[in-house]
Amino acid sequence: MSTAIAISGVSKRFAEIQALDNISFDICQGEFFGLLGANGAGKSTLINIIAGLVRATTGSVKVLSYDVVKQYRQARQRLGVVPQELVYDPFFNVREVLQLQAGYFACGKANYRWIDELLELLDLTEKAKENLYALSGGMKRRVLIAQALVHKPDIVVLDEPTAGVDVELRKSLWQMTNQLHQQGMTIVLTTHYLEEAEALCDRIAILSHGKLKILDAKHQLLDRYPYRWLCLYFHQKFVVPDALQAKVVTQTEQQLTLKLHKQQDSIGEILEYFHQQGLILQDLQMKEPSLQDVFLELTQEAS
Amino acid sequence: MNWVGMWTLFYKELMRFLKVTIQTLLTPVITSLLYLVVFSHVLEGHVEVYPNVSYTAFLMPGLIMMTILQNAYANSSSSLIQSKMTGNLVFLLLAPISNIEFFIAFVTAAIVRGLMVGFGLYIASLFVVDLPTYSWLWIVLFALLGSAILGAMGVIAGIWADTYEKISAFQNFIIVPSTFLSGVFYSINSLSEFWQIVSKFNPFFYLIDGFRYGFFGISDVLPFKSLLVATIFLGLLSSGCLWLLSIGYKIRQ
């Protein structure tokens, strides 16, 4: 698979702060790529360097083999960016904003048909003549996405697109980004919602304190986490043996949650122990690790 | 060159001020006419700056040029600071538009607004003063140069400022004093030798003086000298502005 974005040796220093430290990785064409990290991890700085809004102190970024500084015209033409903040120009209505944005990318009136399609796709047709300040936050977010897509880019970077939007809109944005991905577009997503990255992304990079902490396919990333949870519900009171005390996460009179190592702890042995005590199980639940568990483990390690 | 991109940015800047014409075109014309009414009422008949030219007629070209300059500056500076403060400048920075295209689009829109306000004031002045015309070529040439210079200064101020207060300070402490003290209301020949020398270091003086030459065929310094000074000043400002854009000063971190 060919490279959509090549990041090599990128560092960025703002005065005393090392925002990014020697970041290198590639994002493949057609990939749905997740960029995760806590606040201040360097996600937005990296996105802004890719978009040409921030200049790297050292290193280089190429978008479809075009250097974002030296060949910025070609690079920017192939990139659509949805900024994190709900920014808009209060002088213009939705259609005007899209026509202007298309014009900046040298798309003339031939592009107006695509603008109509975008308005339809994003459920904005009825709002086309409304000024942006009159739109709700969710609608403004849709306009931002339309602006990023107006010049038909090959790669779309979504910087926390679902921050602060309601559940319904979040789901519709997921659906839409999935649709774009299925049409062959490369998507780069930064998000605070880890379930979002887990549901959408093929590969995930986690940044921590400006460093690339981990980069892997989503399933391999989840497999790396060595623990899972066993939740047992009993009919009567029980006693936890000393050997299991260290693994107890929560305990009530009739319920017990244990954090078990996937390889080292045998669920069969644990169940056998309680069976031998004459305890009758009412219910049993297993919980596999989520991306959030992996994320927390990695970021806590780093801090 | 991204011609379509540059044209679109110019068009957007044009639309931005044409959507609020009362504020951007009508108000400056009215304000300048008020200056004209007040100053001509007080000084008409008492002051004769040029031979056989009434004070009101003498004042008018200076007022027109001052209005052109201030509005050209206001156009580019206010557009940029608003875009920075509201954050929508990002859409422009993400686009494949070069620094020179960015600069030309902003300055050209500033020129258009300056000329529109100047022309509006000129038409309005015809109802109150008998204004001669010596050479339209000089008038248009200096109007273009003046609005381009102030358009470029507006871009520089817009890039530099990160608050509305800074833009206002730039306007109130640099643009307004420089225009007021450039011979709008008087000829520098009426000043003491010291202030005549000081005035000659004010590039706005050459813009006003050259523009006034287009109306009366009389000026404090040779019009070609004014043309040379204004052209060099525009060249320096443009170079400075393009340099700021090239290093991404306060725009691209």
ipTM: 0.88
pLDDT digits (tens, 9 = 90+) for B10-53: 999 999 999 998 888 889 888 888 888 887 777 776 667 777 77
Instruction: Classify residue B199 by burial, with Cβ atoms within 10 Å: 0-12, 13-18, 19+.
Output: buried
CA distance A180 to chain B (A): 20
Q: Could you give the CA distance from residue A163 to residue A43 in angstroms, rounded to a whole number?
A: 14
pLDDT in tens, A169-205: 788 888 888 888 998 899 999 987 778 888 889 899 9
- For residue A166, pLDDT over 80 is answered with no
pLDDT in the model for residue B33: 85
pTM value? Answer: 0.86
Best mutation target among A101, A104, A112, A132 (most B Cβ atoms within 10 Å) is: A104
Residue A297 has pLDDT above 80, yes or no: no
Q: What is d(CA B140, CA B112) in angstroms, rounded to the nearest whole number?
A: 12
* Rg value, chain A, Cα: 24
Name the residue among B113, B156, B135 with its Cα closest to residue B20. B113
For residues A154-164, average pLDDT = 86
Q: Which of A91, A131, A144, A155 to mutate to test the interface with B (most CBs of B within 10 A)?
A: A91
The pLDDT score that the predictor gives to residue A269 is: 85
Query: What pLDDT, on a 0 to 100 scale, did the predictor assign at position A302?
Result: 55
Is the CB of residue A88 less than 8 Å from the CB of residue A143? yes
Query: Residue A225: its pLDDT value, please?
Result: 79
pLDDT over 80 (residue A25): yes
Mean pLDDT by 10 residues, chain B (253 residues): 95 94 88 83 71 84 93 95 92 95 97 96 89 94 97 96 91 88 80 84 93 92 95 96 93 84
Cα–Cα distance measured from residue B150 to residue B211, given in angstroms and rounded to the nearest whole number: 15
Q: Do A55 and B248 touch (CB under 8 A)?
A: yes
How far, in Å, CA of A54 to CA of A68, rounded? 10
Q: If you average pLDDT over residues A92-99, what whole number do you get?
A: 94
Q: Is A268 helix (H, G, I), strand (E, B) or coil?
A: helix
Q: Compute the average pLDDT of residues A245-270.
A: 87
Pick the range with the lowest mean pLDDT from A130-134, A207-211, A218-222.
A218-222
In this complex, the residue of A81, A87, A104 whose CB is nearest that of residue B5 is A104
